[in-house]
Amino acid sequence: MIGASSGAAELITLRRTCRAQALKLARRPSDNSGKTARSIGKDAKRELTSDAVIARLK
């Protein structure tokens, strides 16, 4: 079962990497675009930095 443990660790790393990339994308429209894009970016940032999402990634 060594492979299963390694696979779980890889999955956690992948989730964290995806979250980090999603945060970068969420910040981009909030810095410079129209009102709707800024609103969507702010909502995405709020969701991605919430305690519930962070807890799921651990």
Beta-carbon contacts of residue 47 (< 8 Å; ≥ 6 apart): 53
Domain that holds residue 37: 2-57
Using CA atoms, how far apart are residues 36 and 24, in angstroms rounded to an integer?
17
Q: Is 1 helix (H, G, I), strand (E, B) or coil?
A: coil
Count of domains for the chain: 1
Q: What pTM value is reported for the model? A: 0.59
Using CA atoms, how far apart are residues 53 and 18, in angstroms rounded to an integer?
12
Per-residue pLDDT of 1-55, as tens digits, reads 455 567 778 877 888 888 888 888 877 765 567 888 888 888 888 888 889 888 8
